[in-house]
Structure formats: C-alpha cells, structure tokens
Amino acid sequence: MRCLVLHGKNSSPEKIKWLTDPISKFAEVESPFVDMEVSEIVEKFRHENYECFAGHSRGGTAALILGSIRPSVVIAVSSPTDRKLQLDHLSKFPDDTPQSSLYKDLSKVRDLDSSSPINYVEGLKNSSILLIYGDSDQIVPRRHGEVLCEKLANCRLEIVKGMKHSPMGQQIGQINRIISEFLKYYVNSRRIT
C-alpha cells in the first residue's frame, strides 16, 4: 500500500514524523514538501495511484478530498473540514495572533467550498476515515471532525485530551497507537474480503 502524507501550512515533512512513522509500519510512505493551497495539492496528486492519504491540518484537508476521489484509507489530524467554518472561527481572534494571520491567508482563497471536505461526503463514503483532533486546539476546533463524522458511517473520530494543534510528548505515543490500531484493522479487513 502506498500512502501520501501531507504536512500543513508553514510546516514540512520533517515536522510530521509523528504522523509518518506509524503509517510507515503499514505502508510505503511518500511525504513531499508542498507549499500550495488545498486545490493545487489535490490537482497535483489526484491521478497518482495511492491507497492511503494522510495529513496534518491543511494537508489533512487535501487528504480528505483526495480520499473522496479515489476510495482509500484517509487519516486527517487537526484538519479543517469546512473552510467557511474555519474562516469564521479564525475571525474571532485579535490581531498579532497566529489565528489572525491564518485568517488573513484563508480570506484570500477564492472558493472555500471546493476546498472543504464537508462538500465531498458522497465520495468519502467509499473510504475508511480516521479523524484526530485535540480538545485544546485553538486553530482547528474538534467540531470540524464531529460535523464530518456525523455524516459518514465509515468515519472514526478520536479526541486527544490536552492536545493543541499538533501533538506533543505523550500525545505522540497516543496518536501512534490510534493510527496503528486503525491501520491494522484496515489491513486485516482487506485480507478477509
């Protein structure tokens, strides 16, 4: 199984080793540097032959959309699923905060609907989905995962206590266990069918 793993805005493949490491136990991982908007990422990889898409933050948003195009396993961590909801959330923070900077960047995106996984539910019904959010994330609230999983029977939602936008310390081990458990189940269920 080949898995495309995407980092978020202002990040890099090196900064998401906590995501690529557990996936690499089950798949051949490719984690390129991508400094693009979601729609550009989707366009770049939509015709590639992956069985797995994963990502953190903006990378997870792209992974979800790619998973709606090609039935696959999708893992998204701290990922906006409705970018209009995200824009509204970020608009409530004062200037000189990371949220304000992200708000300004997201405000420049022309079509937030086409880069919102919530608008790809029909295609996502054919994928196995794991969403992970922190209960202390001030960038992407867990509501994004709740809203998407409410619409999909094939969606597993995990909330990590104390986690902000990225995991730290013991949370990395917890995420590693969650991902490994999910992928082990996925791989075993494929052998049965």
Query: pLDDT tens digits for 5-35?
Result: 999 999 999 999 999 999 999 999 999 999 9
Does residue 4 surpass a pLDDT of 50? yes
End-to-end CA distance of the chain: 16
Range of the domain at 123: 2-80+113-188
Is 161 part of any domain?
A: yes
Confidence category of residue 187, pLDDT binned at 50, 70, 90 = confident
Residue 193's pLDDT is what? 43
Residue whose structure tokens are 């266990």 = 177
CB-CB contact of 60 with 79 (8 Å): yes
Is 40 part of any domain?
A: yes
Confidence category of residue 188, pLDDT binned at 50, 70, 90 = confident
Residue 191's pLDDT is what? 56
Domain at 53, CATH number: 3.40.50.1820
Residue whose structure tokens are 């970020």 = 90
For every residue of 154-191, DSSP letters joined together read TEEEEEETT--SS--THHHHHHHHHHHHHHHHHHHHHH
Is 95 part of any domain?
A: no
How many structural domains is the chain composed of?
1
Quick: pLDDT tens for 89-122: 999 999 999 999 999 999 999 999 999 999 999 9
What pTM was estimated for this model as a whole?
A: 0.96
Percent of the chain at pLDDT above 90? 94
Is 99 part of any domain?
A: no
Is 94 part of any domain?
A: no
Residue 174's pLDDT is what? 98
Mean pLDDT value of segment 72-94 = 97
